[in-house]
Structure 1
Amino acid sequence: MDERKRDSMIAYLRHRMEEYGIEPDDLASAIAGDQVTQKPARYQNATGNTWTGDGEMPQWLKQAISAGQRLEHFEVASASPVQDSQRKTIDWRDDPFAGSPLARQYTD
């Protein structure tokens, strides 16, 4: 947007705010409230497009799925990774097979 259009839009918004008695603080608190109530994104692509999973699926995701990609590919990783203290630890000191192929664990 060029500078003239921007200035024109700002003047228009200021005029409308005066007309309806809206103060800048009112606008700021409304915007802050909207940001708090927004749901976190459940799906995201490599370019940063996001979708919460509510409402109609966005076009970028429809196109990716129609091209053969799975929806799960775009899932955002959970915000709470497993803590190191919660991970299962293995004590190899008394294991006679330690270091051999028999000692490998496969988890599903």
Structure 2
Amino acid sequence: MKGKIADGEARDRLIIWIRRRMAEFGITPEALAESIQYDLDHPALYRDAKGNEWNGLGDAPHWLRAAQNAGVDPDFFRIASPQPPRSADPMVNDTIVDPRQLDLFA
């Protein structure tokens, strides 16, 4: 494994880097949790091809106004309500997990 970082070590390094950036910008774990909760409470309703999103609150963003001015119906960008996949196995717990809460390095 010469020249490669073990997964556990990479995870540890990433956590240290994230903690340093949070401290650098004054982001507390509580503020991060509040931001995640806000996103959960106000999901995006519109998304463009570049991944820009808008939850419908406040003024429409530039990318959506530009599309409207070009004659594109805003409903073109509306995100369909995704139906979470369900298991056919009744013994499987179908709890919906927000992918942002997954530990991708476990």
Instruction: Calculate the TM-score normalised by the size of structure 1.
Output: 0.50
The letter for the 2-side match of 1:57 is: A
Deviation at 1:32, TM superposition (A): 1.2
Deviation at 1:52, TM superposition (A): 0.3
- Helix, strand or coil for the counterpart of 2:51? coil
Stretches (4+) displaced over 6 A: none
Alignment counterpart, residue 55 of structure 1, candidates 45, 58, 72:
58
Q: Which runs of 5 or more structure 1 residues have no equivalent in the other structure? A: 1-6, 18-23, 84-108
Q: Kindly indicate whether structure 1 or structure 2 has the higher relative contact order, using CA contacts under 8 Å at least 6 residues apart.
A: 2
**Separation in structure 2 between the aligned mates of residue 33 and residue 68 of structure 1, nearest angstrom:** 37
Secondary structure of 2:33's counterpart equals helix
Q: Please show how residues 64-83 of structure 1 align to structure 2 within 5 Å.
A: 64-80=67-83
State how many pairs are aligned: 63
Post-superposition offset of 1:31: 1.1
Structure 1 residue 29 corresponds to structure 2 residue 34? no
Q: Provide the aligned C-alpha RMSD in A.
A: 2.9
What is the CA distance between 1:64 and its match in structure 2?
Answer: 0.4
Report how far residue 44 of structure 1 moved. Answer: 0.3
CA distance in 2, matches of 1:31, 1:80: 27
Identity of aligned residues (%): 34
User: Any unmatched runs of 5+ in structure 2?
Assistant: 1-20, 87-106
The structure with more radius of gyration: 1
| TM-score, structure 2 normalization | 0.51
